[in-house]
Amino acid sequence: MAAHNSSRGARRRGRSGGNRPRTHPPRSVAERLAAKGPSATEVLIREIRLLALRLEGIYRTAVTVEMALRYQNADQDADFADCLRHAVCEPVWEQSEKAHGLSKRFGRVRVQDRSRSGGES
């Protein structure tokens, strides 16, 4: 019979006891939810902010065209510039401001909801 090698110890199968010490701290509920991706409200806020930025770009372009028409000094360009200002520039700017206001209001509501629920969404 062969001699038993006692320097190796007994061969173990699987984990002993099944409990390993954790190497990372447990994640909070908010962190787990954040890892899942943005909520529908967060997506809506982001979309409203993007809409506001697009409207600002349209507004700036319309103002540039208005100014170009005014400084060309052609016969009807001032009338076209006035129409552009009243029919496009001002309404687009108003909608942009409303969209910014909505995104800020939704953002505040979202933060308040998180604080009321103890970080859970």
Residue 16 lies inside a defined structural domain of this protein: no
User: What is the distance between the alpha carbons of residues 119 and 121, in angstroms, rounded to a whole number?
Assistant: 7
- pLDDT grade for 7, boundaries at 50, 70 and 90: low
User: What is the distance between the alpha carbons of residues 62 and 89, in angstroms, rounded to a whole number?
Assistant: 6
Residues 49-63: tens digit of each pLDDT: 999 999 999 999 999
3-state secondary structure of 35: helix
- Domain containing 62 equals 29-114
Question: Domain tally for the chain?
Answer: 1
Q: Are 110 and 22 in contact (CB under 8 A)?
A: no
Residue 5 lies inside a defined structural domain of this protein: no
Taking residue 115's Cβ as centre, other Cβ atoms within 10 Å add up to 8
